[in-house]
Amino acid sequence: MDADVAIVGVGSVGSMAAWQLSKKGISVLGFEQYGIGHDRSAAGGESRLFRTAYMEGSEYVPLLQESKILWEQLEKESGSSLLTLNGGLMIGEAESKVMSAILKSINDFDLAHERLTGDQARKIYPQFNIFNDDLVILDKNAGFIRPELAVVSATQQAIENGAKIKRYTKVDSISSDEKGVNIIAEDSSYKVRKLIVTTGAWTWKLLPFLKEQVIARRLLLTWFTPKDISKVTPDKLPIFARMRDNFRLTGAPTLDGSMVKASYTKDPQFVEEPFNLYRDVYPEELKQISESVEALLPGLHPDPVRASAYMDAYTPDNHAIVGELPNMSNVMIATGFSGHGFKLSPVIGKIISDICTDGKTDSDIHHLTPRRFNPYT
């Protein structure tokens, strides 16, 4: 055996799984087709939002609370500052489904928050154009994470605990039986007891039967300069999610307080072939985001000064797939994080490592079970 557990894809979630398994003294062999912390997939672009009042569903709140503890643990072990909790403003039409879901998660778990009237919000946060029908919630357990540093820190901790990581090594195929898993990567073969697949947007390339369930989408990040630099430092500007009609504008101040990063999402952009992600930007997409920034964030110069494209893997119901693969012995999967998985990556790393070593997890992940889809025959 080359290791107890192999991990294919040492990105956001794979790095956390390697960290967690290595802490248990399990021998780990990780494969990453690029370098660690690379910017070709889901973990690039300097920051990821952390939110606890969760529009994606109350069932995530216990996972988010555990994830926060694990982020702090990783900070302590690695000596890197990874999570800044500067609060999060959720702004959307009071009657909308999204705002109702946020309020439900707050009520279900008694989450620390402030509910602001339009006038209060305009006074405290003049950076935003707040409409009369908007509800404004300040999530006190929100902020931003440094994604590249997080992936590198978790991987480094795993290596220090004894994990072996093969960089620039693409896994081409896997096969498994009750005795273990065979891996073919760059013309070499490896044998391990168990395998965790954390391949994000590339998942169907390795597991073609998941092609309809795990679909890559292109997501754009853009950076804007402020009209008044004193108003966009992280202590003045919380992270934000601005929901309006059929689009969403989310963002965060940059750590040095000189810019605001924003992401505009409307229609999904499917990526047929993950190796051919279009990484440049079309002028019409910049125009669209510029118009929404002009309307909603009047404190910013509306033309983005920087833009770049990334991708994530989406499932049909926008919940990830986490657990044992029903059709492959000894193979576990954690993928399809549908645009909101980075904040969860430490807890998912722990959950999948517990499933791997103990056959179960104490966390409630019924909404993430692979068995809710049926491509496994």
Ligand X SMILES: Cc1cc2nc3c(=O)[nH]c(=O)nc-3n(C[C@H](O)[C@H](O)[C@H](O)COP(=O)(O)OP(=O)(O)OC[C@H]3O[C@@H](n4cnc5c(N)ncnc54)[C@H](O)[C@@H]3O)c2cc1C
> Are the C-beta atoms of 164 and 1 separated by less than 8 Å?
no
DSSP strand pairing (188-197 vs 331-335): parallel
Taking residues 286 to 325 in sequence order and writing x for each that binds ligand X by CB under 6 A, - otherwise, the string is ------------------------xxxx------------
- With binding defined as CB under 6 A, does residue 234 bind ligand X? no
Measured from the CB atom, is 8 or 181 closer to ligand X? 8
What is the C-alpha separation between 209 and 214, in angstroms, rounded? 10
- With binding defined as CB under 6 A, does residue 207 bind ligand X? no
Residues paired with residue 190 on neighbouring β-strands, in sequence order: 183
Question: In the set 3, 12, 92, 259, which binds ligand X (CB under 6 A)?
Answer: 12
Question: In the set 190, 202, 204, 314, which binds ligand X (CB under 6 A)?
Answer: 202
- With binding defined as CB under 6 A, does residue 206 bind ligand X? yes
Q: How far is the CB of 221 from ligand X (least distance, A)?
A: 5
- With binding defined as CB under 6 A, does residue 143 bind ligand X? no
- With binding defined as CB under 6 A, does residue 17 bind ligand X? no
Q: Is the dihedral of CA 29, 34, 36, 42 positive or negative?
A: negative
With contacts defined by CB under 6 A, name the span among 35-43, 121-129, 130-138, 289-297 that binds ligand X.
35-43
Q: How would DSSP label each residue in 127-161?
A: TS---TTEEEEEETT-EEE-HHHHHHHHHHHHHHT
Taking residues 238 to 267 in sequence order and writing x for each that binds ligand X by CB under 6 A, - otherwise, the string is -------------------------x----
- How is residue 302 written in tokens? 């509306």
Secondary structure element (H or E) that encloses residue 304, with its range: none
Phi-psi region of 164 (alpha: psi -120 to 50; beta: other; left: phi over 0): beta
Binding footprint of ligand X on the chain (CB under 6 A): 8-9, 11-14, 31-34, 41-43, 45, 48-49, 170-171, 198-202, 206, 219, 221, 263, 310-313, 335, 337, 339-343
